[in-house]
Structure 1
């Protein structure tokens, strides 16, 4: 049996954490989801493996340490500077998207309030080849169009 691919997801909204786990379960595949209620909790877990994430999803608006601050910390670390990080946030403001790209996020997924759209965006993110994908202003933000 193949080793499970661990996904870390930090979000202070408990409903969003549960929806994310349900979506991953529905998508199927060899994934294990480890959720964190805030950025500090995620950083603590990532620095004290196991498990070690294959991919990280971050909400932006969280108490204690927001997603952009977590992203900055991850990119400052030699160990995690190449870890794929996807911003998954209701924040659709251009400045947050630009800042996410500038800080080194690999992708930006606006949270949809519709379950099927959210599932589609997460599934798209899981299918991407993170070893070859190079984010820029034209391909950084998920669009269902």
Structure 2
């Protein structure tokens, strides 16, 4: 029974359409039963969490977005006990140690830098699936 698959619900929060497309394609390839909702910024994420009847299985959160960035959204989410155990992985182009430390302080589940090519993105998403889904 260990390998039983269940439909995972993933929130992908990223304003970059190319990144949205790439991450969705890779998730569909490795986790075809997962459903993915794409949101464009932190405000949309907070609204989606409030309105959803159940928590997503995973949030993939970019940092640099309009209106509300990932770190600000993460701070709001972690301030709410209802989301205490929600896995939130920062998936960003920023390799800044300052951003990484801030994400850790705000209790991000993990901090991953977006790779530069599709093959590396495949490996990254496969690792996320193995660990979190």
TM-score (norm 2): 0.90
Q: Which structure features the higher share of helix residues?
A: 2
Structure 1 residue 26: Cα displacement: 1.1
**Partner secondary structure for residue 123 of structure 1:** helix
- Pick the aligned partner of 1:93 from 96, 99, 113: 96
Q: 1:13 to 1:116 in 2, by over 3 A?
A: same
Residue 105 of structure 2 is aligned to residue 105 of structure 1? no
Deviation above 2 Å: which 4+ runs of structure 1? Answer: none
Unaligned runs of at least 5 residues, structure 1: 131-145
* Residue equivalent to 2:10: 7
Root mean square deviation, CA, Å: 1.8
Distance, in Å, in 2 between the alignment partners of 1:97 and 1:114 is: 21
* Native 8 Å contact 2:31 2:129 kept in 1: no
Long gaps (5+) in structure 2: none
> Helix, strand or coil for the counterpart of 2:82?
coil
Q: TM (normalized to structure 1)? A: 0.83
Q: What number of residue pairs does the alignment pair up?
A: 130
Cα distance, 1:74 vs structure 2 = 0.9
Query: In 1, Cα distance between the equivalents of 2:36 and 2:54?
Result: 10
Shift of 1:51: 5.7
Cα distance in structure 1, aligned partners of 2:103 and 2:62: 11
